[in-house]
Structure 1
């Protein structure tokens, strides 16, 4: 493949900037832009060791002094001869070095092209390539751990036994059909049934991780709802740690949804502070109320904020009814700092209409006042343990759809076998499952799927 180059660090000035190069003729090209301090040619530098030297521009003039490292293929990130230059992080210096590489014969790398070459050269499968972008985008330690484990082959290790079992079934079938005169033992129905059952169970366990994987990767979409002036915006500000929403004593200050992210006990919350839900004749305010209702309908978690001083009013009933339709909901009584010590609201089930996942009292201003709410969120969405450390969580819709198609095809094969249908019926479904898994790992993925995945990457990765 031709030689590509790109700046791998951001556009802003930093202490250190990195320029990457990969492809055919990499060493000869780098020789023209780097002069090693020990006088050794670039191709003669010991592999995978940093060497000090001078970076040269397209005219051969020194533009910086820094470090270079050579990665000979096939044991490099891309699987081909590669190199990195570590300079001072001036954008001007990095652009000059990149221009020198272009003048020497390299071309600008496309977004994600280094990782795409790693995939095409067999260094990564598609699940590992997706883990690279997940690792770059990770916003929590748990998400980073899961992505790192997936990059290490966590998903592949779950899928390989299933693929091997299906390949054994299909290859044995074709061997018996294509070579009838050979002494090849046919697979017994009991063996096929056992292999299909184990494969189906493995994929079903994997599919059961989807929701947790999406939460780990994307966070918990959390709607904060309540009637006007009960403390919703104060709660948002307390959770994010600064004054994101305007807070006043005037009811109805928030007329639109306000969105922000917050990390609570290691779990990422995508917070949506909503306009107070109540009857209003104000057209603009009504638009905000409508948006609040829509935010509740799409939320993973609803925090229904009630005024702890006033208690539950008739106007709170609609809010409680909206909240209980969410997958998870918490009733949170605000302003606990204004209540007597030991005071606790007790609401009959008839007022709630349904049992919340948690019932807490909190204060947005008192020291430690958010702790009861944080404890409740942690119980409902524990941050990254168990399967996330193995990388065997499905975190992407593409992955989920492929695994589901494979699982469903295996179930059809099991049903065909149980109904006594001819072996070719079982074979058709087994091959469909293999195709779906191949699409997941990249063995049989279409070009447009591969291109769409790598288009998510930044230039230089």
Structure 2
């Protein structure tokens, strides 16, 4: 444990601003003398004690509840004191200052907590593994009900249990391979008798299932970046307004009305979709400097998108100039980014519609076809409807699971010629276990911990 992790820490644990209740939290070793000095007595463990917190001159700063959690029965695994008072920012700052003042004699070394340091200590003291610790921040940041429920499942250990089950099976297979390496003179073929190949196949199948569920969890957490692109007056702003159910973007028949990007997060079946309306894409002498900048920003968003809604105008699709404009946009779209062709203004079009089998026809003005578009967006995102019991996952978890898959694939090839490749097989299995352990923090570099916990809020 690094030296700074032994320091007692204090912070305001509630969000900035005014509220009905505010919390100041203290964590460290041997807090009992500090608690007695601050509130005049040592409260009973895990029971709320009401009373005043007094300044050095004896005047009450505030009245509230003191909660005392002796180690190891606390959030951090250390002694923890929580002071729950009124949520005014001035009152909380006075209470925080009083804690630091009392600590000068009763708790030397008390300092302000860094972002995420309380949860970091919970991880370091084995109260949470790393995936559970990350779920704390994910639960706070959840933007949909489904995301909050998935984060709560991860916090309860659902994701970690799946990872541990995979790890245990991997360790068992490693044990067999290592035993064969240690006793090469034995006539019994340990690997064949123990069905090592079957074990490895089951490992890979379990990993594939875990990867699929983790991708769903990552989608709930991060959502999908969707950019609406097209020529001016195709109805991009109208489509954004229709999807959001609010008048977010200005809509006029004047070409070039949208000059900058407008973004709104919507949710479909609990999946957050970050939808961006952009300036109409055109190459015309009528484009002024402001619109030109808007077009540049539109292309920047398009190149950073997870999916592009290419919006076409059904009232103009027969015009040669309009077709050329659409063709130019299509050539500029980035490779590898899914493109969904959406034909707008079906309420004004004739019977003949220029659409492919996977295209969507709708009316942003009247809402026709919006449900079909929402379902196609979920398909583009890779969402499996009706998924239950999902846990939250992050991009780093997906990368770690991908590395596990790569090592198991290498191990599969080596197992077929195990007689002279056992040492390499054992190493691939070890690397797979190491990658798996990065998810829960069994094998994690200190710099990665710093990045993860620095993104938490102060007091958590």
Structure-2 residue corresponding to 1:71: 69
Distance in 1 (alpha carbons) for counterparts of 2:48 and 2:319? 69
Q: Is 1:303 the equivalent of 2:309? A: yes
Structure-2 residue corresponding to 1:360: 362
Moved more, 294-303 or 319-328: 319-328
Moved more, 187-196 or 176-185: 176-185
| Cα deviation, residue 31, structure 1 | 2.7
Segments of 5+ residues of structure 1 without an aligned counterpart are: 36-40, 364-368
Structure-1 residue corresponding to 2:399: 401
Q: Is 1:270 the equivalent of 2:281? A: no
Structure-2 residue corresponding to 1:372: 369
SS of the equivalent of 2:389 reads helix
SS of the equivalent of 1:204 reads helix
- Tell me the alpha carbon deviations over residues 381-432 of structure 1, each in whole angstroms, 9 at most, x when there is no partner: 28786556231x5x32211111111111111111111123332221111111
- Tell me the alpha carbon deviations over residues 318-353 of structure 1, each in whole angstroms, 9 at most, x when there is no partner: 3567779742515141384xx5xxx775424xxx4x
Distance in 1 (alpha carbons) for counterparts of 2:299 and 2:213? 29
Distance in 2 (alpha carbons) for counterparts of 1:371 and 1:34? 65
TM-score, normalising length: structure 2? 0.85
1:52 aligned residue (2, 25, 50): 50
Q: Is 1:334 the equivalent of 2:340? A: no
Pairwise CA RMSD = 3.1
| Cα deviation, residue 32, structure 1 | 2.7
Asked if 2 retains the 8 angstrom alpha-carbon contact of 1:261 and 1:269, the reply is yes
Asked if 2 retains the 8 angstrom alpha-carbon contact of 1:33 and 1:60, the reply is no
Moved more, 179-188 or 128-137: 179-188
Structure-1 residue corresponding to 2:239: 235
Change beyond 3 A, Cα 1:178–1:360: same
SS of the equivalent of 1:422 reads helix
Segments of 5+ residues of structure 2 without an aligned counterpart are: 1-5, 104-109
Change beyond 3 A, Cα 1:131–1:71: same
Distance in 2 (alpha carbons) for counterparts of 1:143 and 1:405? 26
Equivalence map 1:163-202=2 (5 Å): 163-174=167-178, 186-188=190-192, 191-202=195-206
Q: Is 1:24 the equivalent of 2:24? A: no
Distance in 1 (alpha carbons) for counterparts of 2:214 and 2:170? 23
SS of the equivalent of 1:390 reads coil
Asked if 2 retains the 8 angstrom alpha-carbon contact of 1:236 and 1:273, the reply is yes
| Cα deviation, residue 158, structure 1 | 1.4
TM-score, normalising length: structure 1? 0.85
- Tell me the alpha carbon deviations over residues 417-450 of structure 1, each in whole angstroms, 9 at most, x when there is no partner: 1123332221111111111111221111111111
Asked if 1 retains the 8 angstrom alpha-carbon contact of 2:215 and 2:398, the reply is no
Equivalence map 1:122-133=2 (5 Å): 122-133=126-137
